[in-house]
Amino acid sequence: MSSDATPDPYDHPVAFGQRLKILRERRGMTREVLAGLVGMSGSWVKRVELGQLQAPGLDMLMRLAQALRIRDLSELTGRPDMSADLFIGPGHPRLAAVRAAVDALPLGAPVAAPPRAEHLAARLAAAWAARHSAPDHREKIGALLPDLIRDAQLAVQYAEAPADWRAAQAVLAEVYSLSQFFLAYQPDSSLLWRVAERSMVAAQQSTDPHTIGVSAWLLAQAHRDTGPDHYDAADDITQQTLDYLTPLLPDAADDVLAVAGALTFEAGYTAARRGETATAWRYWDTAKDMAAQLPAPYYHPVTSFSQAIMGAHAVTVAVELHAGRESVRQAARADADTIPSRPRRARHRIEQARGYQLDGQPDVAIATLDQAYEAAPETIRYNGYARAIILEEVESKGADRRRRASELAVRVGLLAA
């Protein structure tokens, strides 16, 4: 290594301030720029780097790591015991209450009137409706989940007839499915896995095809989003569930056809992550044909599978294949306004922004992320792709783009006001 090369902060144990300076300089970032990204002064950054101030607390560590676009917190701290995936969003204020409900054991004396599965199903439907219509959807379902989880567990525990027990298991599985939407991208991956696995077990106990399909769809996503080492597991879950559902489809209700279509697209999504272009588009084509069999206004409340979503799915396939020009072409064809769910519409806008960024159109990407924020602020706040684009453009050399990205960063919570 030449004497004028940038040192590797992991060659030897170094103080936090030295590590911060090395990583900042590798990013080509001045102290003033880093300070602005984390809401501090340039002199504060200098004093930390010189060891005149102690290493900051966890909240500031997270801000520094995000500003430096470091994926793992241990890269900044030098401590493997402080590893954290920074593609994870912030912890929601209701996370602790949801975690407590999941971890609680519904033991004790029998309740006077155990919840009935049909009543729980109605409450669950209302919760899904709230999720789709509210800009602060995590807040809405986070408030409802603790009681839903407890009551669904009780319904299973105190069901007497076998049919009632299976119906209660179906509701419990879907309550856990709703929980996964709340827990996604939050800093408790072990809780997300626990809920995903419990959902699958309850679904199998229910013997209901739709419930099994929904739980498998979410479990496959959990595997795929964990990384390439889990792609095979995601494919296995998807294919086994499709093998189970396919013979039922000729006589199936719309919800079963929809979840089979959602699983078919998931197979294409994973193929796109692998870079398998032909396979990814083949699955998308098949899923589009399945969506065409559904009534035009139909919209599946869990998977969003519908005719309206297929344009958004095409954008996702192109983005995951890193095809910038195709992403933009698909984005131009997809009509976000036809997606009735606010968080799903925001997610689509984020995927469009990824496409514009890939195609070298950062100004359009920022404008599209503004639209995502207007649709559902909580969606963009927890989305790692959106956060990465915003942080990148906060450092843009273009003054107007830098200003608009900074304003959005403040609204999303990435920068101090």
Task: Report whether pLDDT(30) > 80.
Answer: yes
Enumerate domains of the chain plus CATH numbers: 16-82 (1.10.260.40), 93-206 (no CATH)
Per 3-state DSSP, what percentage of the chain is helix, strand, and coil (rounded to 5)? 70, 0, 30
Q: What is the pLDDT of residue 107?
A: 74
pLDDT tens, position by position, 332-372: 999 888 999 999 999 999 999 999 999 999 999 999 999 99
Other beta carbons within 10 Å of 304: 22
Task: Report whether pLDDT(228) > 90.
Answer: no
Task: Report whether pLDDT(99) > 60.
Answer: yes
pLDDT tens, position by position, 135-184: 999 999 999 999 999 999 999 999 989 999 999 999 999 999 999 999 98
Task: Report whether pLDDT(403) > 50.
Answer: yes
Task: Report whether pLDDT(241) > 80.
Answer: yes
Cα Rg of the chain, angstroms:
23
Q: What is the pLDDT of residue 294?
A: 97
Q: What is the pLDDT of residue 224?
A: 92
Task: Report whether pLDDT(11) > 50.
Answer: no
In this prediction, residues 269-276 reach a mean pLDDT of: 94
Distance CA 373, CA 383 (A): 11
Task: Report whether pLDDT(3) > 70.
Answer: no
Task: Report whether pLDDT(31) > 50.
Answer: yes
Distance CA 8, CA 128 (A): 49
Which tops the pLDDT comparison, 180 or 5? 180
Q: What is the pLDDT of residue 89?
A: 58
What Å distances lie between residue 28 and 6, 32, 200, 248, 275, CA to CA? 11, 12, 47, 58, 31
| pLDDT-above-90 percentage for the chain | 65
Task: Report whether pLDDT(84) > 60.
Answer: no
Instruction: Select from 391, 318, 401 the least CA-distant residue to 359.
Output: 318
The token pair that represents 262 in the structure block: 């959602």
Task: Report whether pLDDT(14) > 90.
Answer: no
Task: Report whether pLDDT(6) > 50.
Answer: no
In this prediction, residues 111-139 reach a mean pLDDT of: 91
| Angle in degrees, 0-180, between the axes of helices 162-183 and 209-226, rounded to the nearest 10 | 30
Reported as a pLDDT band with limits 50, 70 and 90, residue 384 is confident
Distance CA 217, CA 5 (A): 48
Task: Report whether pLDDT(38) > 80.
Answer: no
pLDDT tens, position by position, 247-256: 999 999 999 9
Whole-prediction pTM value?
0.80
The token pair that represents 220 in the structure block: 């496959």
Q: What is the pLDDT of residue 8?
A: 42
In this prediction, residues 217-237 reach a mean pLDDT of: 92
pLDDT tens, position by position, 181-203: 999 888 788 899 999 999 999 99
pLDDT tens, position by position, 288-336: 999 999 999 999 999 999 999 999 999 999 999 999 899 999 999 998 8
The token pair that represents 58 in the structure block: 């966890």
Reported as a pLDDT band with limits 50, 70 and 90, residue 375 is very high
